[in-house]
A and B are shown apart, each in its own frame.
Chain A
């Protein structure tokens, strides 16, 4: 556990020093959301109806942007080899990296979302469903993206290819997340979507550490 915390602190330290894309990905999230009112006009009803989807799409792309480098830098400079020999299982390392990614990407997205919902014209009274859907959805986005990110290290290619693999996998989370907000606005109640999102998280939490470590090991063999 002490080592687990140490790994997370290290990853956050590297983000703070600006050596990863985390800051840029967050800025991308802000800018992408601002694009929607600028491109779709100022019609308040139209904006309200697309607000949930817009915020979720922006969150998904922001997560996608920073996921490509989730393991790459440590894989390419040999840090991952050193850490895995230090008596820490690769599964634990994968989990710690996902957690650090969520703390630096997912959590800020959740915290910023009520403020951004105002920019895009979503009534402030819906902040709780927006926040809740993102709080449950963003960790799943990180976890789902981890295995393709690990695979991209193994084959030594990244960027667009990783995005192509990750995007379809993330669709269920996107549909449920934005669906929760749309359903709540239309009066149907979004809590059912939230339950489904809450079910995806533990499933990915269980499967991903094994899948991603398997993928990373492929790269070493």
Chain B
């Protein structure tokens, strides 16, 4: 197996209490590559992403991260992937800044990178607000802000564009492009048509 391939998945099969969620899925994620996972509701997009993040175990098949079977959700040496799911992981009682700083610290993020991300998503004026004051769209942008300073190479995104207006959708595409240019890789489930050059599509049915 090639160690440079970030995620390599072979012949994945996943069933939940007798119901087949997805079967014979193959994918290989290389540096600088983006894979869009598409398919109608209930086609198993989120389940596939949860398997790729290591939260769920596949029924049969094989997934390798950096050429080894280390489930990222079980791996305790370093941050392997960045995960953006349906849940925003924002504590309403804390301020926006406290929410962000906590993750910046456990991910050992450089303060310059942190400040740059805050400016990019124009969150300066929200920094001292309690996070519970934010609207659904703003919370999503806060998750994007956290994503944009996350140092992990592999990004796994589940519907990142929900709640976003057109302007912020462009910012999202910009963040994703920057990440790809810096040697990262993305797996993203979406219904929207996010325009990114050289994207690979994987359709689940």
- Of the 9-residue stretches A11-19, A117-125, A130-138, A195-203, which lies at the interface with chain B? A11-19
User: Within 8 Å of chain A (Cβ to Cβ): is B90?
Assistant: yes
When the two chains form their complex, are residues A85 and B87 in contact, meaning their CB atoms are under 8 A apart? no
How far, in angstroms, from A119 to B78 measured CA to CA in the complex? Answer: 51
Compute the total of residue contacts between A and B using a CB distance below 8 Å.
75
User: Given the interface contacts A82-B83, A85-B73, does A6 sit within 8 Å of B89 by beta carbon?
Assistant: no
When the two chains form their complex, are residues B106 and A3 in contact, meaning their CB atoms are under 8 A apart? yes
Q: Given the complex, which residues of B lie within 8 Å of A84, measured CB to CB? A: 73
When the two chains form their complex, are residues A85 and B90 in contact, meaning their CB atoms are under 8 A apart? no
At the interface, is chain B mostly helix, strand, loop or mixed?
loop
Q: Which of A7, A17, A85 contacts B53 (CB 8 A)?
A: A85
User: Given the interface contacts A81-B55, A81-B85, A85-B72, does A6 sit within 8 Å of B93 by beta carbon?
Assistant: no
User: Within 8 Å of chain A (Cβ to Cβ): is B133?
Assistant: no
When the two chains form their complex, are residues A14 and B79 in contact, meaning their CB atoms are under 8 A apart? no
**Chain A: which residue is nearest B103 at the CB level?**
A82
**Chain B: which residue is nearest A3 at the CB level?**
B106
* Chain B nearest CB, measured from A84 CB (Å): 6
When the two chains form their complex, are residues B56 and A77 in contact, meaning their CB atoms are under 8 A apart? no
Quick one: CB contact mask for B132-160 with A, threshold 8 Å, 1 for yes?
00000000000000000000100000000
When the two chains form their complex, are residues A86 and B107 in contact, meaning their CB atoms are under 8 A apart? yes
When the two chains form their complex, are residues A83 and B106 in contact, meaning their CB atoms are under 8 A apart? yes
When the two chains form their complex, are residues A86 and B92 in contact, meaning their CB atoms are under 8 A apart? no
User: Within 8 Å of chain A (Cβ to Cβ): is B38?
Assistant: no
Size of the B side of the interface (Cβ < 8 Å), in residues, is 34
How far, in angstroms, from A37 to B3 measured CA to CA in the complex? Answer: 70
Q: Given the complex, which residues of A lie within 8 Å of B89, measured CB to CB? A: 77-79, 81-82
Q: Given the complex, which residues of A lie within 8 Å of B57, measured CB to CB? A: 221
When the two chains form their complex, are residues B80 and A85 in contact, meaning their CB atoms are under 8 A apart? yes
Interface size class of A (residues with CB under 8 A): 20 to 34
How far, in angstroms, from A79 to B99 measured CA to CA in the complex? Answer: 10
Near A by CB (< 8 A), chain B positions 74-94 give 74-83, 85-94
Q: Which of B77, B82, B87, B93 contacts A78 (CB 8 A)?
A: B87
User: Within 8 Å of chain B (Cβ to Cβ): is A169?
Assistant: no
User: Within 8 Å of chain A (Cβ to Cβ): is B105?
Assistant: yes
* Chain B nearest CB, measured from A23 CB (Å): 12
Q: Given the complex, which residues of A lie within 8 Å of B83, measured CB to CB? A: 81-82, 85
Q: Given the complex, which residues of A lie within 8 Å of B98, measured CB to CB? A: 13
* Chain A nearest CB, measured from B159 CB (Å): 13
User: Within 8 Å of chain A (Cβ to Cβ): is B50?
Assistant: yes
How far, in angstroms, from A17 to B94 measured CA to CA in the complex? Answer: 7
How far, in angstroms, from A83 to B98 measured CA to CA in the complex? Answer: 15
Q: Given the complex, which residues of A lie within 8 Å of B90, measured CB to CB? A: 77
* Chain B nearest CB, measured from A173 CB (Å): 30
* Chain A nearest CB, measured from B106 CB (Å): 5
How far, in angstroms, from A77 to B92 measured CA to CA in the complex? Answer: 10
How far, in angstroms, from A89 to B71 measured CA to CA in the complex? Answer: 12
Quick one: CB contact mask for A69-99 with B, threshold 8 Å, 1 for yes?
0000100111101111111111010000000
> A10-B102, A18-B93 are known contacts; what are 13 more A-B pairs with Cβ within 8 Å?
A14-B91, A19-B93, A73-B91, A78-B87, A81-B73, A81-B87, A83-B106, A85-B79, A86-B79, A86-B106, A88-B76, A220-B55, A220-B73
- Residues of A that sit less than 8 Å from B by CB: 3, 6-7, 10, 13-14, 17-19, 73, 76-79, 81-90, 92, 220-221
Q: List 12 A-B contacts (CB under 8 A).
A: A6-B102, A13-B98, A77-B88, A78-B88, A82-B103, A85-B81, A85-B83, A85-B152, A86-B79, A87-B79, A90-B74, A221-B56
